[in-house]
Amino acid sequence: EIVLTQSPATLSLSPGEKATLSCRTSQSVNRYLVWYQQKPGQAPRLLIYDASNRATGIPARFSGSGSGTDFTLTISSLEPEDYAVYYCQHRSSWPLTFGGGTKVEIK
């Protein structure tokens, strides 16, 4: 099983600031890495698939990068609606696994 480690656990930032979230995998997943956003009481929402492809309707301020074992989700300028928990997931092999999440909170 591939283990995904997200850091930091919590990120405290002000609106307009840049957010940089990390996801590291225990073995290479090539570029098969996905990012989701989840707000309280809601289902997750797909942001990025295969490391850097924005999903339909996702604003350009969200971007993903990385390959192999190190990946980054960047939010260029935080909007009020971006405060949420972010999860990474790999699709390289079975079983599929998720990271533990990074909470982006208002500073």
Partner 1 sequence: QVQLVESGGGVVQPGRSLRLSCGASGFTFNNYGMHWVRQAPGKGLEWVAASLYDGNNKRYADSVMGRFAISRDNSKNTLYLQMNSLRFEDTAIYYCAKSGRDYGDFHWFDSWGQGALVTVSS
Binding site for partner 1 (CB under 8 A): 1, 34, 36, 38, 43-46, 49-50, 55-56, 87, 89, 91, 94-101
Least distance to partner 1, CB of residue 9, Å: 11
Least distance to partner 1, CB of residue 78, Å: 22
Strands, E assignment, the chain = 4-7, 10-13, 19-25, 33-38, 45-49, 53-54, 62-67, 70-75, 84-90, 97-98, 102-106
- Residue 23 near residue 13 (C-beta atoms within 8 A): no
Least distance to partner 1, CB of residue 29, Å: 12
Least distance to partner 1, CB of residue 77, Å: 25
State residue 94 phi and psi, 5-degree precision: -95, 140
The residue among 28, 38, 40 whose CA lies nearest residue 88 is 38
SS3 2: coil
